[in-house]
Amino acid sequence: MARDWWWPWWISSLIDVGIVILAVMVFVRVNKRRVRQIAALIGIGAIVAAGLAPVVMKGKASNSPMPMQTGNTMTMTTP
């Protein structure tokens, strides 16, 4: 069910780039050390997520059917 709403990897990367931009803005504007550390951590995480999105999220379209999985593919013949 989760794969029914999945989007392509580049949309996830665009969201991550937006998060990086927001984290950089917070990092530049705020003078509190703890807030800057958190913004830097979130920015680094978003950069890693944007870089891994093409690898983790395969290029399969969301409307393509999922392969059917069966428990046992061996057929038995009866005499």
The CA-based angle 27-10-66, given to 5 degrees, is: 135
Region 35-57: mean pLDDT is 94
Q: Is the pLDDT of residue 21 over 70?
A: yes
DSSP letter (8 states) at residue 79: -
Region of 64 please: left (phi>0), alpha (psi -120 to 50) or beta.
Answer: beta
pLDDT at residue number 54 = 87
Region 32-46: mean pLDDT is 97
pTM: 0.65
Measured distance CA(10)–CA(35) in Å, rounded: 29
Measured distance CA(24)–CA(27) in Å, rounded: 5
Region 66-73: mean pLDDT is 53
Higher-pLDDT residue of 60 and 29 is 29
